[in-house]
Chains A and B, each alone.
Chain A
Amino acid sequence: MEEKFGTVKVKRGLAEMLKGGVIMDVTNVEQAQIAEKAGAVAVMALERIPADIRKEGGVARMADPKLVKDIMNAVSIPVMAKVRIGHFAEAQILEAIGIDFIDESEVLTPADEVHHINKWNFKVPFVCGARNLGEALRRISEGAAMIRTKGEPGTGNIVEAVRHMRIVMDEIRKVQNMSEEELYVEAKELRVPIDLLKEVKELGRLPVVNFAAGGIATPADASLMMQLGADGIFVGSGIFKSSNPKKRAEAIVAATTYFDDPKILAKISEDLGEEMPGIDIRDLTDKDKMQLRSE
């Protein structure tokens, strides 16, 4: 019986199993267990959530493997962890401890300002952030098995995630209407392989699952992103920076499933306590924006 591990099908397949679900940032075992009980489809293990990384500054790196392992042992759902952009050694370490998914993330301080990780070299699937179709397809051509919007992490402000999701969807619709000649020009302009662009035209969507991330803080935020075409939701700081994480986590999970039912959304949005404090995007300079850390 021939067995094949780490294939495209197996990697993209795990992302497909996460659809319609919520992936939650957690910084310790207790939070991971709260997330699992609340119905998270996966947890993202990290040392500091984006809001704190933003506040404290300095270089943000991969989490301590001990912390990641403790969280892996504490929950039955998949565990993800972040590595710095281009830092393939951090990714090798996470693969060695058996992580289920790696986020090559702009939330951490980039390790390489030119190259992303060659993700084809790994058996573990990768998710990467994107602000537009070009970025999404470049990450997929490097081997990403899942895409998420970048949004603006740690702000509790949905505006950038909305912008990025709308841009990707709009560009996909344009590609669908292009002739073959136009596709070649578009591939050159987007700096992406023509075959991937042809696949997008044929499918009418990205060839991998596309989640929303960056600034989601309420059930209504989750619903908005799902209605804009997201396959699922990442919540970073929004849950454990709020006053009642358990209740808010359960509500965002339910909102991601019943995203198009305003009556249910109204009910689950009630009495959730205080949201995380938000940041107006206009108060951020380009230097503060994590989304500008790669393209």
Chain B
Amino acid sequence: MKIGVLALQGAVSEHMDMLKRVGVESYPVRKAEEIEKVDGLVMPGGESTTMGRLIQAFQLEGVIKKRFEEGMPIYGTCAGMILLSNRIEGFDQFKFGFIDLKIIRNAFGRQVDSKEIDLNVKGFDTPFHAIFIRAPVGKDPGKNVEVLAEVPEGIVFAREKNVLVSAFHPELGNDLRVHSYFVDMVKKFLK
């Protein structure tokens, strides 16, 4: 199994470290031919406007869309969640539209409102220690979206078919369960 981490900008090495701890090989990917060769793709945290501009400038939209349609699992954290959504409130910026979810950017406020909380996640026996950094939330999910975790501000962990999104950053913590969940999605895709 080979998982690619979209390495246009953001916390790439942190995801690669977590995937290594789950026992999976991962690669930074920045070009269409690299994205063709992976079995799953992580879109890391960073700035969604920066990544969106680079995706357009270097024509990566087509290949990512093709892989999505083939069923390749994609996991987006924070900025990645914004890019994967189909609606972004108040901002006219690039998005893939792979998950039917409305995004509220910077939903908790500015950096001083960034925080760590213990989050109840559907399917996890114990709370997940979640780190939110200038995080978005989701609202008004489409009927095929499975909500996996919510806070008063909105949805922070969700899945629609082969697309997984989290507003928080499991790659900055020590809990491997979110990355294991994504690796299981990739395993099922490869079967």
Contacts and interface: CB of A to CB of B under 8 A. Distances in A.
Interface of A: 1-7, 9-10, 13-14, 16-21, 36-42, 72, 76-78, 95, 98-101, 123-125, 250, 253-254, 256-258
Interface string B1-23: 00000011111111000000000
B189 to A, nearest CB: 27
Contacts of B91: 76
Contact of A14 (B7, B119, B133): B133
B187 interface: no
Q: Which 10 A-B pairs have the closest CB atoms?
A: A100-B111, A39-B53, A20-B9, A41-B47, A4-B116, A39-B50, A10-B114, A98-B110, A16-B11, A21-B9
B117 A39 contact: no
Contacts of B57: 250, 254
A76 B106 contact: yes
A77 B10 contact: no
B53 A253 contact: yes
B98 to A, nearest CB: 21
A5 B112 contact: yes
B12 A19 contact: yes
Given A1-B118, A17-B78, A257-B9, A98 B53 contact: no
Interface in B39-79: 45-47, 49-50, 53-54, 57-58, 78-79
Contact of B112 (A6, A39, A256): A6
Contacts of B145: none
Give the interface size bracket for B toward A.
35 or more
B112 A76 contact: no
A38 B169 CA distance: 26
Given A36-B49, A95-B112, A257-B54, A20 B12 contact: yes
A100 B110 contact: yes
B116 A253 contact: no
Contacts of A257: 7-9, 30, 54
Contact of B134 (A4, A9, A14): A14
B116 A100 contact: no
A19 B132 CA distance: 17
A1 B121 CA distance: 13
Contact of A3 (B11, B105, B117): B117
Given A39-B53, A78-B134, A16 B115 contact: no
Contacts, number: 129
A234 to B, nearest CB: 15
B172 A20 contact: no
B113 interface: yes
Contacts of B169: 13
Residue from B58, B106, B112 whose CB has the most chain A CB atoms within 10 Å? B112
Contacts of A6: 112, 114
A9 B119 CA distance: 16
Given A20-B12, A257-B8, A124 B111 contact: yes
B131 interface: yes
A265 to B, nearest CB: 13
A39 B7 contact: no
17 contacts: A7-B116, A10-B132, A10-B133, A13-B11, A13-B172, A16-B11, A17-B79, A18-B47, A20-B46, A39-B50, A41-B9, A72-B110, A95-B112, A99-B110, A257-B30, A257-B54, A258-B58
Contacts of A2: 117-118
Interface in B113-153: 113-119, 131-134, 151
Given A3-B117, A21-B10, A100-B110, A39 B49 contact: yes
A20 B134 contact: no
Contacts of B54: 39, 253-254, 257
B64 to A, nearest CB: 16
Contacts of A124: 111-112
A86 B169 CA distance: 33
A123 B116 CA distance: 13
A18 to B, nearest CB: 7
A101 B47 CA distance: 15
Given A95-B112, A250-B57, A17 B105 contact: no
A36 B50 CA distance: 8
Nearest to B172: A13
A14 B8 CA distance: 17
